[in-house]
Amino acid sequence: MTYYDQVSEAAAFLRSKLGSLNPSVAIVLGSGLGAVADAVASPVVVPCAQIPHFPQSTVEGHSGRFVAGLMGGAPVVVLQGRVHFYEGYTPQQVTFPMRVLGALGLQSVILTNAAGGIQEGYRVGQLVALSDHINLMGWNPLIGPNEPRFAARPDTGLRFTDMTEAYSKALRALAKEAAVEEGFDLAEGVYLAVSGPSYETPAEIRAFRSLGATLVGMSTVPETIVACHMGLEVLAISCVTNLAAGMGATPLSHQEVFETGHQVEHRLARLLERLVPGIAAMMEPNQ
Ligand code: HPA
């Protein structure tokens, strides 16, 4: 069975669970941010283990479930339990869920993640919308034969994907408005992706800062690249779960990342409840 056929089979399985729900917006949750899935009303919950060919997360704090329902009254799909390159998955496996979202007809995706803050002045617990990224993972999920059938829009699914505006300015503007309504300022940042799983050294963080990065993390970039390949609009929001290596007084730990995520997840859920209806209204109606 080809990769394309596996994606199609997973999408058909999920479509059969969605009933009359036809969401245009998807949300992918990062470490410790699972409460966002609990903000979905009238949820249809599918454990990722039941979805054909779906990769299973091996990381603590990434319990895998696909939740569809309403957020702020708008239809939405939330994916909790992304998989990472450092777990030993191939780039194709890491981006399999994103391919399935494209095959399901989603038009926009909100990628959330836990990230280390590189920019002086970022506070732990702060939310930052990505304006751009730097891919230092050492690979690209589009390596290999191009599959034009993944195109979700005209002029996408191409061998060479444009990344000039990988993170939609329009969605970012909506997110900033929603944050102001929630009483906080959503900063903008540049996310640098590494493979992990070791955290960075202080020298790496100094190097990344001089490259223009303000955040560092181990996810999101593969999904953004694949979403751009299919023509989906991307909004990405990082939660600064810790100061990057060498910037704080203590060593880095997954425990800290996870706990900060838990402190912020309800604020993120409220932001998304406000934001999702606006994004859904901006997308073309799904047929
Ligand atoms: N580095 C890389 N990935 C991360 C970090 C970090 O400091 N925090 C959360 N994810």
pLDDT in tens, 194-235: 999 999 999 999 999 999 999 999 999 999 999 999 999 999
Mean pLDDT of the chain: 93
The model carries a pTM of 0.95
- Burial 40-52, CB ≥16 within 10 A → b, else e: beebeebebeebe
C-alpha 116 to ligand 1 mean position (Å):
4
* DSSP symbol at 38: H
Residue of 33, 86, 242, 255 with the most ligand 1 atoms within 8 Å of its CB, for mutation: 242
Nearest CA to ligand 1 atom 6: 116
* pLDDT at residue 132 greater than cutoff 90: yes
- The three-point CA angle 110-66-51 to 5° equals 125
Query: What is the rounded distance in angstroms from the CA atom of residue 265 to the CA atom of residue 237?
Result: 12
C-alpha 274 to ligand 1 mean position (Å):
27
Q: Tokens at residue 101, please? A: 């979202």
Q: How many CA atoms lie within 13 A of 222 on its CB side?
A: 28
* DSSP symbol at 98: H
Nearest CA to ligand 1 atom 5: 116
Summarize the confidence of residues 239-260 as an average pLDDT.
Answer: 88
Q: What percent of the chain has pLDDT over 70?
A: 97
* DSSP symbol at 280: H
Q: Tokens at residue 116, please? A: 């280390």
Active site residues: 31, 62, 84, 86-87, 114, 218-219, 242, 254
- The three-point CA angle 179-234-8 to 5° equals 135
Single-letter residue type at 53 = H
Nearest CA to ligand 1 atom 9: 115
C-alpha 49 to ligand 1 mean position (Å):
27
Map out the domains of the chain with their CATH numbers: 3-283 (3.40.50.1580)
Q: Which position has the higher pLDDT, 159 or 285? A: 159
